[in-house]
């Protein structure tokens, strides 16, 4: 299959035509690039799973660009959902609803519920409106790899496997949407993202984190099926160091020295405040620790850059879990397979 690159917004109608005909198109959103198909077309949806190599029990998020598109997809809209929609849509927030039978079971991974988001990115909104279709869209990467925040990374993973890629520059949030479940009692965050728990608490009286997100032993089953899979992993082995700055720097430098002696290429993932303190040829700073949004925006691209550089081991700082930091550390800990070293 030849993958068409669409880098001119004037040609967005070509992407709409492909989607209406049952094809697959990667599209920029504010979180990461998404791989879109008509959510109501089982065959198109099955091709998303194939192109990504995604397990079939990992459901997809459906994207809409108009509140009227929601009604036919969901059985019931709780008051809490209306409040969240009013405050955070369009934006990087996904809500879980009881589904209607209109939504194919394959989109929902066999569940009775469905995940819906109204993205804020103008290209994604335009495309949904042009097709008039709800679009199922997981991240546009090979399953298990770091999500793509630009068109080049989508091309690397999916060239020849999908019909087209719309190049719309960088995704500025950089981590996937926050997922909130409103179907089972207390509103619950199933995946931390760009909309933080504190922001949600300004609108709802209570909202808790899925206990599986907080468990250190990884034995509690997460309620978002996708959260149980290895994810965001570069080819390099990632290790996270937690402790005082000074001790972390010392421990990482000691590990770098050892690696050098064994001819192992190793790199450091850090922030602007510490980047001058490490002895390595492969140091990537994600930005200042005082601007966590910048750190979130650069995380996945940095993990992929280490692969470009053929780095075998990555020593990462532990970033603050304040605000969007909980999403940053959720992704980083998964990319490290929860390999954390306390110093
Ligand atoms: P991605 O689109 O690649 O960001 O992945 C979508 C995420 O949404 C995965 O972690 C899924 O498990 C989660 N998800 C989608 N639908 C549901 C649902 N009905 N209930 C719980 N989690 C869901
Ligand atoms: Mg994904």
CATH number at 278 reads: 3.40.50.11030
Query: Do 187 and 306 reside in the same domain of the chain?
Result: no
- pLDDT at 219 (0 to 100): 62
- pLDDT at 216 (0 to 100): 56
Query: Do 101 and 250 reside in the same domain of the chain?
Result: no
Report the C-alpha gap between 9 and 84 in whole angstroms. 31
Is ligand 1 within 6 A of the CB of residue 115?
Answer: yes
Structural domain count, the chain: 2
144 assigned to some structural domain:
yes
32 assigned to some structural domain:
yes
Domain span at residue 257 reads 237-342
User: Which atom of ligand 1 has the smallest separation from the CA of 34?
Assistant: 2
231 assigned to some structural domain:
no
Query: Do 244 and 209 reside in the same domain of the chain?
Result: no
| Residue 5 and residue 165 in contact, taking contact as beta carbons nearer than 8 Å | yes
Is ligand 1 within 6 A of the CB of residue 59?
Answer: yes
Nearest CA to ligand 1 atom 7: 226
Nearest CA to ligand 1 atom 6: 60
Q: Which residue has the tokens 């019931």?
A: 76
Query: Do 206 and 247 reside in the same domain of the chain?
Result: no
| Residue 135 and residue 62 in contact, taking contact as beta carbons nearer than 8 Å | yes
Query: Do 174 and 253 reside in the same domain of the chain?
Result: no
CATH number of the domain to which 151 belongs: 3.90.870.10
Query: Do 209 and 241 reside in the same domain of the chain?
Result: no
User: Which atom of ligand 1 has the smallest separation from the CA of 115?
Assistant: 16
Is ligand 1 within 6 A of the CB of residue 314?
Answer: no
User: Which atom of ligand 1 has the smallest separation from the CA of 94?
Assistant: 8
User: Which atom of ligand 1 has the smallest separation from the CA of 32?
Assistant: 4
56 assigned to some structural domain:
yes
3-state secondary structure the chain: CCCEEECCHHHHHHHHHHHHCCCCEEECCCCCCEEEEECCCHHHHHHHHHHHCCCCCCCCEEECCCHHHCHHHECCCCHHHHHHHHHHCCCCEEEEEEECCCCCCCCCCCCCEEEEECCCCHHHHHHHHHHCCCEECCECCCCCCCCCCCHHHHHHHHCCCCCEEECCCCCCCCCCCEEEECCCCCCEEEECCCCCHHHHHCCCCCCEECHHHHCCCCCCCCCCHHHHCCCCCCCCEEEEEECCHHHHHHHHHHHHHHHHHCCCCEEEEECCCCHHHCCCCCEEECCCCCCHHHHHHHHHHHHHHHHHCCCCEEEEECCCCCCCHHHHHHHHHHHCCCCEEEC
Query: Do 321 and 268 reside in the same domain of the chain?
Result: yes
Query: Do 83 and 22 reside in the same domain of the chain?
Result: yes
Query: Do 189 and 243 reside in the same domain of the chain?
Result: no
Using the CB atoms, write b or e for 225-255: b if 16+ within 10 Å. bbbeeebbbbebbbbbbeeeeeebbebbbeb
3-state secondary structure 182-214: CCCCCCEEEECCCCCHHHHHCCCCCCEECHHHH
Query: Do 84 and 51 reside in the same domain of the chain?
Result: yes
Of 86, 70, 88, 47, give the one whose Cα is nearest residue 179: 88
- State the pTM of this model: 0.95
Is ligand 1 within 6 A of the CB of residue 108?
Answer: yes
Is ligand 1 within 6 A of the CB of residue 114?
Answer: yes
Q: 179, 213, 247: which is the final residue of a domain?
A: 213
222 assigned to some structural domain:
no
CA distances from 65 to 6, 68, 116 (A): 21, 9, 11
Query: Do 15 and 130 reside in the same domain of the chain?
Result: yes
- pLDDT at 215 (0 to 100): 65
- pLDDT at 226 (0 to 100): 74
Nearest CA to ligand 1 atom 15: 59
Give the number of other Cβ atoms within 10 Å of residue 330's Cβ.
21
Most ligand 1 atoms within 8 A of CB, residue of 225, 229, 331 to mutate = 225
Instruction: Per residue of the chain (343 residues), give pLDDT as tens.
Output: 899 999 988 899 999 999 999 999 999 999 999 999 999 999 999 999 999 999 999 999 999 999 999 999 999 999 999 999 999 999 999 999 999 999 999 999 999 999 999 999 999 999 999 999 999 999 999 999 999 999 999 999 999 999 999 999 999 999 999 999 999 889 999 999 999 999 999 999 999 999 888 765 556 777 888 776 667 888 999 999 999 999 999 999 999 999 999 999 999 999 999 999 999 999 999 999 999 999 999 999 999 999 999 999 999 999 999 999 999 999 999 999 989 999 9
20 assigned to some structural domain:
yes
Q: What's the burial of 132, exposed, middle or buried (CB within 10 Å: 0-12/13-18/19+)?
A: exposed
Query: Do 144 and 282 reside in the same domain of the chain?
Result: no
């Amino acid at each position: 299959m030849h993958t068409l690159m669409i880098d001119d917004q004037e040609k967005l109608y070509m992407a709409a035509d492909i989607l209406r005909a049952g094809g697959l198109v990667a599209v920029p959103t504010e979180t990461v690039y998404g791989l879109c198909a008509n959510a109501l077309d089982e065959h198109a949806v099955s091709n998303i799973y194939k192109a990504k190599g995604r397990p079939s029990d990992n459901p997809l998020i459906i994207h809409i660009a108009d509140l009227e598109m929601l009604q036919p997809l969901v059985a019931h809209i709780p008051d809490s959902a209306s409040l969240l929609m009013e405050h955070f849509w369009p934006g990087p927030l996904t809500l879980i609803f009881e589904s209607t039978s209109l939504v194919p079971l394959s989109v929902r991974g066999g569940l009775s519920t469905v995940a819906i988001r109204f993205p804020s990115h103008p290209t994604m909104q335009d495309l949904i409106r042009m097709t008039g279709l709800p679009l199922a869209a997981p991240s546009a990467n090979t399953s298990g790899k770091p999500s793509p925040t630009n068109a080049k990374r989508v091309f690397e993973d999916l060239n020849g496997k999908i019909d087209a890629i719309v190049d719309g520059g960088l995704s500025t949030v950089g981590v996937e949407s926050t997922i909130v479940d409103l179907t089972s009692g207390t509103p619950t965050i199933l995946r931390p993202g760009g909309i933080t728990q504190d922001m949600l608490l300004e609108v709802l009286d209570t909202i808790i984190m899925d206990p599986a997100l907080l468990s250190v032993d990884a034995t509690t089953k997460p309620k978002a099926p996708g959260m149980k899979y290895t994810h965001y992993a570069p080819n390099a082995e990632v290790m996270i160091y937690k402790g005082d700055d000074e001790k972390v720097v010392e421990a990482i430098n000691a590990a770098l020295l050892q690696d050098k002696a064994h001819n192992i290429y190793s790199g450091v993932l850090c922030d602007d405040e510490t980047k001058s303190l490490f002895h390595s040829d492969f140091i990537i700073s994600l930005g200042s620790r005082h601007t966590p949004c910048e750190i979130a925006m650069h995380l996945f691209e940095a993990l992929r850059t280490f692969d470009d550089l053929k780095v075998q081991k990555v020593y990462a700082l532990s970033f603050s879990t304040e605000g969007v930091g909980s999403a940053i550390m959720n992704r980083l800990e998964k990319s490290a397979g929860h390999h954390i070293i306390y110093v």
